[in-house]
C-alpha cells in the first residue's frame, strides 16, 4: 500500500473527556483539523491566545482537501511541467553551477531531456516569451572564438607578462616605465589551414609566457593618441561586469560625477562570466551597450564567477589547464574586440582580486594569467591585475581607523576596499587622458593603508 493508514486518534489520547469531537475542537481552535494528537489540549487551551494566528488562506479554506498522494502527484506534475517546457533554462542553470556532483547529476539528466524537448518543440512556449522580450533563446555555453583567431596569430608577446601596451605604474606609486620583457618566448603560429586543427596548438602557446613565475604587479599605460574630451565631446565611461563591479563602480561614478567632461554609467549582471555565456552573452551584450551609449572607454570587472569548466565544441575543458587558460584568453579577446568594433576606443579589464580562499584564488590566478595573454593580443586592452603576487588583505586603515576591505565572502570589496580598484582605474585613465589628469587625481578616493 502506498500509504499505511494512520489510526484515528482517540479522544482519550489527548486527555480530553471521552467522546470529545476532536475535529470540531480543532476547527474551533483555528488550527485546522490536521492538528490532532496529544498536543491538542495545549492548542485548544490557548485557542484564544492571539499568538496562534495562521494564514487566512489556510484557516478559512472551504474547498476540497487533498490526500498526501494527491499532493505528491500535484507537486511532481508541477516540477515536471516546469522542467520539460523550459529545459533550456534548467540546462543552463545546471551547467552554470559550480563543478561537483549536483552539477554532474543535473546536467546528465537535463541534457538528454533538453534534446528530446527541442525535438518535440516543447520549448516553444518559453522561447516565444524570450523572443517577444527581445532575448536570444539559445541556452548554450559554446563561445565561438574563430573570429579572433587571426588576431591572436598576428600578435606578438612584445611586452611580456601583462604588457599589452607600454607598462607603467605599480599600484599606489608614481608611474615608472617598465622595459619590455624580452624573455618571453614568441608565440609560434600554427600553420595548419583549418581552424579546428590550429586552435588546440595555439591555446597553450598563447598563455605560456604568463603561466609561470608571477610577474611584477604593474598598471598599464594607455595609448597616447586618444582623443581628449571636450565640452562638446565628453568622455563616456561604461563600467560593466558582474557583482564585483558594483562597489568600485558606484565609487567610480561618484568620483567621476564632479568632472563635467566625463559621464559614467554602471551596468552589472550578478553571477555572469565568460564560462557561462548562456547566462549573458557578454560579447553581444557589451557591443550593444557600447553602441547604444556611445561609450569611449569600457571598464570591465569580469571573471570572479568563472570557477568551472569551459565548453568548447561540445567538449569540456577542465579548469587549471593550459587549454582552459588559453580558451579563456580567447574569450577575453573576443569580448574586447566586440567592444572596440562597436565604437569604444579602449577597454580596461580588472581581473578578480586575490581571494581569501586558496581554492578560489587558484581560479582567479588562472583568469589573471589569461587576461595577461589577452592583453598581449589587443593593443587597446589594458589589464589591471590585482591578484598576481598580491597578498590577500582583510582590513586596512582609513583616516587612522581599521576598516574591512573585503566582505565576509573574502571576495567582494567593501565600500572602503573599493578604493583600490577605483583608484587604479583612475590612474590608468590619467595616462590616456592627460587633459583630465589633475581632476582625476583630485577625484581619487583616500588610499587605504
Partner 1 sequence: MLFPTIEFAVFFLVVLTLSWLFMPYPRIWKVFIILASFVFYGYADLRFIALLATAIFVNYFGAVAIGRTENQRARKTALTLTLIANLGLLAWFKYYGFFVSSFLAAAENFNIAPSIPLLQIILPVGISFFLFQGISYVVDVYRREYPVCGFMNVAIYLSFFPHLVAGPIVRAREFMPQLATPRSPRAIPATPALFLIAGGFAKKILLADLIGLDLVDPVFGSPTAFSSFDVALAILGYSAQIYLDFSGYTDIAIGTAMLLGFWFPQNFNRPYTAASLQDFWRRWHMTLSRWLRDYLYIPLGGNKKGKLRTALNIFITMLLGGLWHGATWNFVLWGGLQGAGLVTERSLTARRLKKGKAPAGAWPKGLSILVVFLFVTFAWVLFRAPDLTTAAAVVSQLWLGIGQPTTLVTFSVLVVVAVGLGLQWIPPRFWQSLQRRYARMPLVVQGVGMGLFVVVVTSLIGQRGVAPFIYFQF
Spacing of C-alpha 351 from chain mean position: 12
Q: Residue 409 interacts with partner 1 (CB under 8 A)?
A: yes
- What is the x/- site pattern for partner 1, positions 360-399, by CB under 8 A? ----------------------------------xx----
Q: CA of 448: how far to CAs of 15, 395, 402, in Å?
A: 69, 9, 9
Take residue 367 and report the three cell numbers written for it.
583568469
Q: Least separation, in Å, of the C-beta of 396 and partner 1?
A: 10
Q: Which one of 63-71, 145-153, 179-187, 437-445 is the stretch in contact with partner 1 (CB under 8 A)?
A: 63-71
Q: Residue 275 interacts with partner 1 (CB under 8 A)?
A: no
Q: Residue 408 interacts with partner 1 (CB under 8 A)?
A: yes
316, β-bridge pairs? 311
Q: Residue 270 interacts with partner 1 (CB under 8 A)?
A: yes
Alpha-carbon torsion (247, 248, 251, 256), positive or negative: negative
Q: Least separation, in Å, of the C-beta of 240 and partner 1?
A: 13
Q: Which one of 175-183, 209-217, 402-410, 438-446 is the stretch in contact with partner 1 (CB under 8 A)?
A: 402-410
Q: Least separation, in Å, of the C-beta of 13 and partner 1?
A: 8
Q: Residue 266 interacts with partner 1 (CB under 8 A)?
A: yes
Residues in 13-32 at the binding interface with partner 1, rule: CB under 8 A: 13, 31-32
- The number of residues in the chain equals 449
Spacing of C-alpha 442 from chain mean position: 32
Give the residue from 123, 143, 348 showing the smallest Cα distance to 245: 348
Q: Least separation, in Å, of the C-beta of 276 and partner 1?
A: 9
Q: What Rg, from alpha-carbon coordinates, does the chain have? A: 29
Binding partner 1 by CB under 8 A: which of 35, 287, 381, 429? 35
Q: Least separation, in Å, of the C-beta of 312 and partner 1?
A: 20
CB contact at 8 A, 416 and 407: no
CB contact set of 191 (below 8 Å; sequence gap of 6+): 198
Q: How far apart are CA 10 and CA 21, in angstroms?
A: 10
Take residue 113 and report the three cell numbers written for it.
531531456
At residue 237's C-alpha, the angle toward residues 231 and 241, to 5°, is 170
Q: Which one of 124-132, 196-204, 370-378, 441-449 is the stretch in contact with partner 1 (CB under 8 A)?
A: 124-132
Q: Residue 112 interacts with partner 1 (CB under 8 A)?
A: no
Q: Least separation, in Å, of the C-beta of 357 and partner 1?
A: 11
Q: Residue 411 interacts with partner 1 (CB under 8 A)?
A: no
- What is the x/- site pattern for partner 1, positions 41-60, by CB under 8 A? -xx--x----xxxxxxxx-x
CB contact at 8 A, 425 and 350: yes
Going by the DSSP 8-state scheme, the letter that residue 259 receives in this structure is -
Q: Least separation, in Å, of the C-beta of 264 and partner 1?
A: 8
Q: Least separation, in Å, of the C-beta of 375 and partner 1?
A: 28
H or E segment and range at residue 427: helix 419-432
Binding partner 1 by CB under 8 A: which of 280, 287, 347, 424? 280
Binding partner 1 by CB under 8 A: which of 200, 204, 410, 434? 410
Residues in 79-108 at the binding interface with partner 1, rule: CB under 8 A: 79-83, 85-86, 89-90, 92-94, 102, 106
Q: Which is nearer to partner 1, 126 or 323 (CB)?
A: 126
Which residue is listed with cell 586575490? 354
Give the residue from 219, 220, 191 showing the smallest Cα distance to 205: 191
Q: How far apart are CA 446 and CA 429, in angstroms?
A: 17
Q: Least separation, in Å, of the C-beta of 214 and partner 1?
A: 25
Binding partner 1 by CB under 8 A: which of 214, 404, 437, 444? 404
Q: How far apart are CA 43 and CA 374, in angstroms?
A: 68
Q: How far apart are CA 270 and CA 242, in angstroms?
A: 5
Alpha-carbon torsion, ordered 121, 72, 89, 301, to 10 deg: 180
How many residues bind partner 1 (CB under 8 A)? The answer is: 95
Q: Residue 254 interacts with partner 1 (CB under 8 A)?
A: yes
Q: Least separation, in Å, of the C-beta of 387 and partner 1?
A: 18
Residues in 131-160 at the binding interface with partner 1, rule: CB under 8 A: 133, 135
Residues in 214-253 at the binding interface with partner 1, rule: CB under 8 A: 246-247, 249-251, 253
Q: Which one of 176-184, 227-235, 263-271, 366-374 is the stretch in contact with partner 1 (CB under 8 A)?
A: 263-271
Binding partner 1 by CB under 8 A: which of 217, 269, 393, 444? 269
CB contact set of 406 (below 8 Å; sequence gap of 6+): 356, 392, 393, 394, 412, 413, 414, 417
Helix (H, G, I), strand (E, B) or coil at 315: strand
Amino acid at each position: 500500500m502506498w500509504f499505511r493508514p494512520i489510526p484515528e486518534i482517540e479522544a482519550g489520547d489527548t486527555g480530553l473527556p471521552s467522546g470529545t469531537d476532536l475535529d470540531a475542537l480543532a476547527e474551533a481552535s483555528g488550527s485546522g483539523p490536521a492538528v490532532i494528537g496529544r498536543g491538542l489540549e495545549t492548542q485548544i487551551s490557548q485557542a484564544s491566545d492571539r499568538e496562534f494566528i495562521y494564514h487566512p488562506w489556510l484557516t478559512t479554506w472551504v474547498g476540497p482537501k487533498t490526500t498526501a498522494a494527491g499532493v505528491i502527484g500535484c507537486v511532481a506534475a508541477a516540477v515536471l511541467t516546469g522542467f520539460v517546457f523550459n529545459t533550456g533554462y534548467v540546462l543552463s542553470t545546471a551547467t552554470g553551477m559550480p563543478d561537483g556532483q549536483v552539477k554532474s547529476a543535473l546536467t546528465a539528466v537535463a541534457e538528454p531531456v533538453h534534446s528530446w524537448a527541442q525535438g518535440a518543440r516543447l520549448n516553444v512556449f518559453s522561447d516565444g516569451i524570450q523572443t517577444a522580450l527581445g532575448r536570444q533563446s539559445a541556452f548554450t555555453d559554446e563561445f565561438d572564438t574563430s573570429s579572433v583567431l587571426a588576431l591572436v596569430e598576428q600578435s606578438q608577446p612584445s611586452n611580456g607578462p601583462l604588457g599589452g601596451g607600454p607598462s607603467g605604474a605599480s599600484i599606489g606609486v608614481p608611474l615608472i616605465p617598465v622595459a619590455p620583457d624580452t624573455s618571453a618566448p614568441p608565440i609560434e603560429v600554427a600553420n595548419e589551414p583549418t581552424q579546428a586543427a590550429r586552435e588546440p596548438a595555439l591555446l597553450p602557446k598563447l598563455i605560456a609566457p604568463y603561466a609561470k613565475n608571477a610577474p611584477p604587479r604593474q598598471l598599464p599605460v594607455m595609448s597616447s593618441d586618444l582623443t581628449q574630451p571636450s565640452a562638446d565631446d565628453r568622455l563616456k565611461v561604461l563600467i560593466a561586469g558582474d557583482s564585483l563591479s558594483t562597489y568600485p563602480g558606484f565609487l567610480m561614478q561618484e568620483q567621476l560625477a564632479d568632472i563635467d567632461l566625463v559621464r559614467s554609467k554602471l551596468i552589472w549582471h550578478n553571477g555572469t562570466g565568460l564560462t557561462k555565456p548562456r547566462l549573458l552573452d557578454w560579447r553581444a551584450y557589451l557591443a550593444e551597450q557600447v553602441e547604444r551609449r556611445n561609450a569611449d572607454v569600457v571598464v570591465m570587472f569580469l571573471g570572479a564567477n568563472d570557477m568551472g569548466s569551459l565548453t568548447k565544441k561540445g567538449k569540456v575543458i577542465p579548469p587549471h589547464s593550459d587549454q582552459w587558460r588559453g580558451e579563456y584568453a580567447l574569450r577575453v579577446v573576443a569580448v574586447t574586440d566586440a567592444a572596440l568594433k562597436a565604437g569604444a576606443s579602449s577597454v580596461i579589464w580588472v581581473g578578480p582580486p586575490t581571494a581569501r580562499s586558496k581554492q578560489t584564488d587558484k581560479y582567479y590566478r588562472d583568469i589573471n594569467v589569461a587576461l595577461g595573454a589577452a592583453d598581449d593580443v589587443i593593443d587597446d586592452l589594458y589589464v589591471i591585475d590585482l591578484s598576481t603576487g598580491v597578498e590577500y588583505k582583510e582590513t586596512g586603515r582609513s583616516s587612522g581607523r581599521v576598516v574591512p576591505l573585503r566582505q565576509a565572502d573574502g571576495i567582494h570589496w567593501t565600500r572602503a576596499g573599493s578604493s583600490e580598484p577605483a583608484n587604479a582605474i583612475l590612474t590608468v585613465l590619467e595616462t590616456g587622458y592627460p587633459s583630465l589628469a589633475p581632476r582625476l587625481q583630485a577625484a581619487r578616493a583616500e588610499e587605504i593603508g
